[in-house]
Amino acid sequence: MFYYLMLVIQLFAQDPSGGTGQSQPSGMFGGLGGFLPIIIMFLILYLLLIRPQAKQRKQIEEMRQALKKNDKIITAGGIIGTIISINNDTITIRTHDVKLDVQRTAISAKLEG
């Protein structure tokens, strides 16, 4: 294992010009070639993780803003109830014989049917 590590270190330490003192051409990307893998990885992360999460967050916020009286909802804590009144950031729900005040952000889904 140690031998392979030393071999890799020696390969990286060698002069890429072969000892002639001339530098190799920088390629078609110029100085950007070293950052290209990092840029590609960030682009993949953005397309696979960041963009879908932002889209889902926007859909949930639109659902919360579109709530109205008599909608059946489920809270983040798992409480299922029916909306009986809506204030700015507080929504009053009824679950059986109990009335609860919850924040709008605590609503995780609107139940259909």
CATH number of the domain to which 70 belongs: 2.30.30
d(CA 105, CA 75): 9
Q: What average pLDDT does the structure give for the chain?
A: 84
Q: Per-residue pLDDT for 20 more than 80?
A: no
- Tens of pLDDT, residue by residue over 52-94, are 999 999 999 999 999 999 999 999 999 999 999 999 899 999 9
Name the pLDDT band for 34 (thresholds 50, 70, 90): confident
Q: Is residue 66 part of a domain?
A: yes
- What backbone torsions phi and psi does residue 60 show, to the nearest 5 degrees? -65, -40
Q: Which domain holds residue 101?
A: 38-113
The 3-state DSSP composition of the chain as helix, strand, coil percent (nearest 5) reads: 45, 25, 30
Sequence-distant (≥ 6) Cβ neighbours of residue 26 within 8 angstroms: 33
Which residues pair with residue 109 across a beta bridge? 74
Q: Is residue 109 part of a domain?
A: yes
How many domains, the chain? 1
**Total-model pTM:** 0.61
Q: Is residue 55 part of a domain?
A: yes
